[in-house]
Structure 1
Amino acid sequence: MSALLEVSGISKTFDGFRAINNLSFSIGAAELRAVIGPNGAGKTTFMDIVTGKTRPDEGQVLWGPNSQSLLKMNEAQIARAGIGRKFQRPTVFEDQTVAENLTMALKAPRGPLDVLRWRPSAASAARVAELAAEVGLSEALPRRAGELSHGQKQWLEIGMLLASDPQLLLVDEPAAGMTLAERELTTTLLCRLAETRAVVVVEHDMDFVRRLNCRVTVLHQGAVLAEGSLDHVTRNPDVIEVYLGR
């Protein structure tokens, strides 16, 4: 089966520091993957390159069944092509309700006149209700986003990303700051999302990664150090030395 995202031999140097070093990575169309590694391993730069925020010095990043080059697209084009990214800190409109946040995120023409003419419809209301149900926020639709717990804000942001129907979700440390109950619900949510799309979770919390029960990629010094099940990679002597032993 061909990969949805194929990253081949990418490298990136910042002021003499090699943040990414001949990194290759691929993920299928309906797959959950955890990416772990010590600070400075290149996890954020890797996501920056996939989403167009940073250009690699060499290598290629191919996307979709037609193997389009993401390196020829800007950030907005990459997002429209079906790649969504969730940063560690939730960025929601705190003064707006959950329903309003989700409505603003719906896939629609974005030209100035389109925005002025846009009116909510039965279809948009149904889609908002569907998104809220998918991320467990149905009962919170009328609440202001600023009133939500940290975990609920994370789910709202995931719901806002889902509004554009991405084929790949990049999620940065979703478990950080969550209660145990929220973490369990987040695990369930990410596993369910990966049934129909690719989901990459960058995470430090080994217990959370174990709950995801998925293939794990370990990065170190900008390259893939090991890949496989969590049990497989945590038995790797190099992984123990550079990451788990600290």
Structure 2
Amino acid sequence: MSTLLEVSGVSVTFDGFKAINNLTFQIGPAEMRAVIGPNGAGKTTFMDIITGKTKPDDGHVLWGDKSVSLLSMSESQIAQAGIGRKFQRPTVFEDQSVRENLMLALRNKRGPLAVLRFRAGQADHQKVADLAEEIGLQNALNRKAGELSHGQKQWLEIGMLLAQDPQLLLVDEPAAGMTPAEREHTTDILVAAAKSRAVVVVEHDMEFVRRLNCKVTVLHEGSVLAEGSLDHVTNNDKVIEVYLGR
């Protein structure tokens, strides 16, 4: 299988603390991956490095068929190259409708001047309708985003990222604060998204991870401690010791 993203031998130190320690990670072009680990394992720093927010001290981060180095690119260049990130707290335009939020996200694919001149065409309206259906908000297109439940706001933000058609989607703890029904729907959205792009989900909720039914990477002290199916990693003695507890 070809590799979309390859992180190799990456280390980063903050004030003498090694947040990431010789980390190696690979993901293919249409693959779902869950990343788990205790607090302080380096999960957020790992995503910060991929998106250009943090530059490592050592190692390589290579992207796409041509193995372009992400380390020489700015955060905005990395986003334009096809990497989207969803933070834990949803950030949507609360005073705008669901439709307007999705339409604004579509505009982000254009340059600043093009955005000013942008007039939504039939194809744009169809894309927004398709996205709304994909995230389960087709009946809420005219509602203000601020009126949505926490879970619905999370779905809207995922939709806004999907509007930009990223090749890799990084999602931070999507299940936090959701009802069981919302968690189930979120699983469906992410599993569907991973059919056509790579999706990395950082999560603590083991039931949520189980439903994703994907390969799991366990981080500990900035390194990969174990990798494989959820059953494989949760039966690993080291993982039990440092993360799951006896």
**TM-score normalised according to structure 1 size:** 0.98
- Offset of 1:118 from its aligned partner? 1.4
Q: Which residue of 2 aligns with 1:205?
A: 205
Give the aligned partner of residue 144 of structure 2.
144
SS of 2:59 mapped into structure 1:
strand
| Structure-to-structure mapping, 1:58-207, within 5 angstroms | 58-106=58-106, 107-111=108-112, 113-207=113-207
Structure 2 residue aligned with 1:32: 32
Distance 2:188 2:104 in 1: 26
Residue 11 of structure 1 aligns to a residue in which SS? strand
Aligned length: 245
Q: Measured at CA, do residues 13 and 159 of structure 1 come closer, stay the same or move farther in structure 2, by a change above 3 Å?
A: same
What is the alpha-carbon distance in structure 2 between the residues aligned to residue 17 and residue 244 of structure 1? Answer: 24
SS in 2 for 1:155: helix
Aligned: 1:241 with 2:244? no
Identity %: 75
Partner amino acid for 2:110?
P
Could you say what secondary structure the match of 2:139 adopts? helix
- Structure 2 CA distance for aligned equivalents of residues 56 and 78 of structure 1: 15
Secondary structure at the aligned position of 2:125 is classed as helix
Q: Write the distance in 2 (CA, Å) between the matches of 1:129 and 1:122.
A: 11
Deviates more, 1:198-207 or 1:118-127: 118-127
Q: CA RMSD in A?
A: 0.9
Specify the SS of the correspondent of 2:10.
Answer: strand
Output one character per residue of 1:178-233: Cα deviation in whole Å (capped at 9) or x when no partner: 00101111111111111111000000011111111110000000000000000000
TM-score by length of 2: 0.98
Unaligned runs of 5+ in 1: none
Query: What CA distance in whole angstroms lies between the structure 1 residues aligned with 2:14 and 2:109?
Result: 37
Aligned match of 1:220 = 220
Measure the CA separation in 2 of the matches of 1:73 and 1:54: 11
Counterpart residue type for residue 152 of structure 1: Q
Q: Please, which moves more after superposition, 215-224 or 129-138?
A: 129-138
Provide, for residues 51-78 of structure 1, a one-character-per-residue CA deviation record: whole Å limited to 9, x for no partner: 0000000000000011010001100110
**1:144 alignment partner AA:** K
